[in-house]
Amino acid sequence: MCIGIPMQVIETQPGHALVQGRGEVRRVNTALVGEPRQGDWLLIFLDAAREALSPSRAAEVNATLDLLDAAMAGLDNTAQGSAAFELPSAMSAEQLAALTGAPARG
């Protein structure tokens, strides 16, 4: 399984960028997202940028990854809040229909 990591551009190079995030610095390929600017946020998979992110979306993904890290470590982090998404089991029929594109059942 691959998990995208939000990382912020600290330096640009033709076709690549030096990015930092979650305690590490990497040189990544930017062919799929174009030339980023310093300070931009990118979603990184296997040392390649796959998507440009807004700062707020990068924060949401990082918060979700923090919750995942805590769960994997066996920590109870319910005081930190919920993930940046809602589980389908907690959604109404209308929300599920909107999510899947299916017509809502009445």
Checking if the pLDDT of 81 tops 70, the result is no
* 17-38: burial string, b at 16+ Cβ within 10 Å, e else: bebebeeeeeebebeebeebee
What integer pLDDT is reported at residue 72 of this predicted model? 78
Q: What is the pLDDT of residues 63-79, one digit of tens each?
A: 888 888 877 777 765 55
- Total domains in the fold of the chain: 1
Nearest to 43 by CA among 85, 86, 2: 2
What integer pLDDT is reported at residue 104 of this predicted model? 61
- CATH number of the CATH domain containing 4: 2.30.30.140
Average pLDDT over residues 47-73: 88
Average pLDDT over residues 97-105: 68
Tell me how far apart the alpha carbons of residues 52 and 8 are, in angstroms, rounded to a whole number.
Answer: 10
Q: What is the pLDDT of residues 9-48, one digit of tens each?
A: 999 999 999 999 999 999 999 999 999 999 999 999 999 9
- Which tops the pLDDT comparison, 104 or 14? 14
Q: Which domain holds residue 22?
A: 1-106
Checking if the pLDDT of 93 tops 90, the result is no
What integer pLDDT is reported at residue 24 of this predicted model? 95
